[in-house]
Amino acid sequence: TMDEGCSRAVRETFCELYEKGLIYKGSRIINWCPHCLTALSDAEVEYTDKPGHLWYIRYPLADGSGDIVIATTRPETMFGDTGVAVNPEDENFKHLIGKTCILPIMNREIPIVGDDYCEIGFGTGAVKMTPAHDPNDFEVGLRHNLEVIRCISDDGTMNENAGKYQGMDRYACRKAVVADLEADGYLVKTEPYSHNVGTCYRCHNDVEPLISAQWFVKMAPLAKEAIRVVEDGTIKFVPERFTKTYINWMENVHDWCISRQLWWGHQIPAWYCDECGHINVSREDPTKCEKCGCTHLTREEDVLDTWFSSALWPFSTLGWPDTDAPDLKYWYPTSVMVTGYDIIFFWVARMIFSGMEQMKKEPFKTVFIHGLVRDDKGRKMSKSLGNGIDPLEMAENYGADALRFNLITGNSPGNDMRFFVEKCEAMRNFANKIWNASRFVMMNLSIDKVQLPENLELEDKWVLSKLNTLIREVTDNLESYELGVASAKIYDFIWDTYCDWYIELTKTRLNGEDAAAKLAAENVLCYVLLRILELLHPFMPFITEEIWQALPHEGKYLISAKWPEYQDALHFPEAENAMEAVKDAISAIRARRAEMNVPPSRKAQVIIVTAQPDNYRLGAHFITRMAYASELTVMTEAPADLTGMVTVATHDATVYMPMAELVDIAKELERIAAERKKAEENLHRIEAKLANESFTSRAPESVVNAEREKAEKTRALIAKLDESAAAMKL
């Protein structure tokens, strides 16, 4: 931020805007933090709904004809009251416009004015005007030439205009004033009232609106172009819903207060003449006043809002204000700005209007908005809660790749995500899975150049076709900024399609005597792995680069390798259909055998009945080997005698297996009965605990819910055991 290049850009921008009349110094209502002792821009104020009160106070009419009752949430500011406003259409008050009333406690006479700002029906309809401490009152005051009296100091204490309350904290003063108003008979009533209170984004103390001489950027002229380039699609927001957020803010933006009373930052390039008071704004430190020639000048002590320099980032980092800088000519504008939704106003909006004003061109084409990373309970991470996650610690424990993949998988643009440490562990396991799969490929590799064979087996066509689809979908997802969707698809393909299935399917060829078949398997294994690494590299750059370097490849680095492209020649829909049918059959048979506790060593006859027999015949050798079949028969009609058969259904077939070949039925029924008895006893204990009112009323809700969950799981287990027993008795 404070580098020489950035400082030069900041100074040039300030001077240009000042010369155009877009920067000025003036006394206006600003947001002031009494704790940080500095001004804040509107975007730096966070609003929190807080419970408070609405105090109804009687202001006597100066002519003694009665009084006017006002309602306020801030009675401590009444010392700065210089008028009372009513709506000119309000029948209750229009006859009072032009009269005066007496300010309680201070006994000062103030005018009653008519202004459309006042809302008929809110409170009493009469509003006290404190131009020095409320932005709306300030505007009303300008329209009616009301006096501006400031009664609160920079540190949040009452000043000399507060009379006997001088030196009191603003909130202590509030209590004292209310008590005195009640004692003197001016307090009519008090009502509870919840309202938005502005707080400082740094320290979270309540912000005080007050009149102050500060430096401002005139926003109306700058906002016009910044709105146009978003409305006409020159700049796009992703997700698109943030376009409305941006436009709404820009259409209602106020002048930007850019001066800060801090010790660090870019000092405002302005000098005050000690003789004539003229403000000298200059790119170089002046030696004399440009107006009167006096050599005694005093530098402005205030510094600029840090977002002033940040707004110039897209071009100040590329050499501007040197318009011939090579980097500026080549890289400006950039394509995508990635940032969080919480700084759209702080940063994005300001970069856009700064780029349009200084460069006459948009700073980027797309604004990609991401959400916040929250803790596992959905809370914002903060020092006060102690729930922050150290990314360096996570990277040290689980690896940078695992951390990166955790943060992107399942995440969607513009939405917050919860951070679970357990997910980092799962992604480390994923990295290990890739590493081990790659080691397997390398151990079986005899080639130094990858070339797909002309004659491909069913499983080769299947995996290549699935990969081809993956390449197309991931590319589409990345181009539409669906990073979480893309990463999830890559994860599923690697873990399931490649590791759990294709590698297993190739083992027969890799361990067989057919050299040509082995070579074909090697080439396809390596080809698919290389493409996987290319797709995964943006998400997990370290492990993918390491593996890629150990495989036969073209080029020096994976990071500069060509992105994989969809190829029509590698689209095999028939092979995909056949292999998916085979996979479903194998998975269904394995699941059924697992339910019945049948060991892999015990093989059984398998009969598949389907309207698509060719699919299963093509993959018959896989079903025989991987579903532990002693014999496989593929039919289009079910066998006549189904006595003692176990039935399993897939999406386009029914699988039959003789029960007697799978288990000792009597022994298995005995085992199921014993397990069911144990589960029933456990369920009775849980239900008794839940029926005990002493337990459910005194135990923590989480403990009670955990017991209810145990009961549901136990009931489900009993139902499953009953189902298994019924199937064996057929």
Cα-Cα-Cα-Cα dihedral sign, residues 377, 379, 381, 386: negative
CA distance 240 to 234: 13
- Given a cut of 70, is residue 699 above it in pLDDT? yes
Predicted confidence at residue 554, as pLDDT, reads 87
DSSP structure class, residue 386: T
Which residues lie closer than 8 Å to 646 by C-beta, 6 or more apart? Answer: 592, 596, 656, 657, 658, 659, 662, 727
Peptide bond into 239 cis (omega under 30): yes
Last residue of a domain, one of 631, 647, 663: 663
Region of poorest pLDDT, from 202-206, 427-431, 490-494: 202-206
223 & 260 share domain: yes
Quickly list H helices, 301-365: 306-310, 313-316, 326-331, 349-358
Nearest to 478 by CA among 466, 468, 490: 490
10 & 41 share domain: no
CATH code: domain of residue 98: 3.90.740.10
pTM metric for this prediction: 0.76
Angle among Cα 614, 578, 660 to the nearest 5 degrees reads 70
CA distance 567 to 465: 9
Q: What percent of the chain has pLDDT over 90?
A: 76
Question: Could you tell me the pLDDT band of residue 593, with boundaries at 50, 70 and 90?
Answer: confident
Contact 461, 522 (CB under 8 A): no
- Given a cut of 80, is residue 145 above it in pLDDT? yes
CA distance 88 to 94: 5
Question: How far are the Cα atoms of 592, 631, 676 from residue 727, in angstroms, in the given order?
Answer: 11, 22, 15
CA distance 329 to 207: 43
Tokens (6 digits) for 243: 């376009």
11 & 87 share domain: no
DSSP structure class, residue 502: I
Question: Could you tell me the pLDDT band of residue 304, with boundaries at 50, 70 and 90?
Answer: very high
Which residues lie closer than 8 Å to 723 by C-beta, 6 or more apart? Answer: none
Last residue of a domain, one of 635, 663, 691: 663
pLDDT, one tens digit per residue, over 235-294 is 999 999 999 999 999 999 999 999 998 888 999 999 999 999 999 999 999 999 999 999
* Per-chain mean pLDDT for the chain: 92
Contact 455, 569 (CB under 8 A): no
If you average pLDDT over residues 583-589, what whole number do you get? Answer: 93
236 & 353 share domain: yes
Nearest to 152 by CA among 304, 30, 301, 305: 30
116 & 80 share domain: yes
b/e per residue 466-478 (b: at least 16 CB within 10 A) = bbbbbbebbbebb
Predicted confidence at residue 386, as pLDDT, reads 83
239 & 155 share domain: no
499 & 407 share domain: yes
Contact 96, 70 (CB under 8 A): no
- Given a cut of 60, is residue 96 above it in pLDDT? yes
Question: Could you tell me the pLDDT band of residue 1, with boundaries at 50, 70 and 90?
Answer: low
Question: Could you tell me the pLDDT band of residue 729, with boundaries at 50, 70 and 90?
Answer: low
pLDDT, one tens digit per residue, over 657-691 is 887 777 777 887 888 899 899 999 999 999 999 99
Give the domain range for residue 119.
Answer: 35-211
Predicted confidence at residue 728, as pLDDT, reads 67
Contact 502, 461 (CB under 8 A): no
* Residue 340 lies inside a defined structural domain of this protein: yes
175 & 316 share domain: no
* Residue 379 lies inside a defined structural domain of this protein: no
CA distance 723 to 644: 15
CA distance 337 to 362: 12
Within a 13 Å sphere around the CA of 583, how many CA atoms are in the beta-carbon half?
Answer: 18
Three-class secondary structure assignment of 517-582: HHHHHHHHHHHHHHHHHHHHCCCCHHHHHHHHHHCCCCCCCHHHCCCCCCCHHHCCHHHHHHHHHH
If you average pLDDT over residues 89-93, what whole number do you get? Answer: 92
Number of domains comprising the chain: 5
Contact 250, 42 (CB under 8 A): no
* Residue 375 lies inside a defined structural domain of this protein: no
CA distance 15 to 25: 13
* Residue 602 lies inside a defined structural domain of this protein: yes
480 & 620 share domain: no
689 & 631 share domain: no
b/e per residue 1-39 (b: at least 16 CB within 10 A) = eeeeebbbbbbbbbbebbeeebbebeebbbbbbbebebb
Nearest to 414 by CA among 345, 334, 339: 339
188 & 322 share domain: no
* Residue 389 lies inside a defined structural domain of this protein: no
pLDDT, one tens digit per residue, over 373-399 is 888 888 888 777 788 888 899 999 999
- Given a cut of 90, is residue 103 above it in pLDDT? yes
DSSP structure class, residue 447: -
Last residue of a domain, one of 644, 663, 682: 663
If you average pLDDT over residues 102-107, what whole number do you get? Answer: 95
CA distance 562 to 340: 30
CATH code: domain of residue 491: 1.10.730.10
- Given a cut of 70, is residue 590 above it in pLDDT? yes
Greatest mean pLDDT among 120-124, 173-177, 263-267: 173-177
465 & 524 share domain: yes
Which residue type sits at 326? P
Peptide bond into 269 cis (omega under 30): no
Which residue type sits at 56? Y
Contact 559, 545 (CB under 8 A): yes
CATH code: domain of residue 251: 3.40.50.620
Question: How far are the Cα atoms of 442, 525, 545 from residue 437, in angstroms, in the given order?
Answer: 9, 10, 15
CATH code: domain of residue 633: 3.30.2320
- Given a cut of 90, is residue 354 above it in pLDDT? yes
If you average pLDDT over residues 303-323, what whole number do you get? Answer: 95
Nearest to 336 by CA among 238, 412, 225, 424: 238
If you average pLDDT over residues 538-564, what whole number do you get? Answer: 94
* Residue 15 lies inside a defined structural domain of this protein: yes
pLDDT, one tens digit per residue, over 397-425 is 999 999 999 999 878 888 888 999 999 99
Nearest to 653 by CA among 602, 600, 587: 587
* Residue 382 lies inside a defined structural domain of this protein: no
* Residue 569 lies inside a defined structural domain of this protein: no
Q: Which residues pair with 633 in a beta bridge?
A: 607
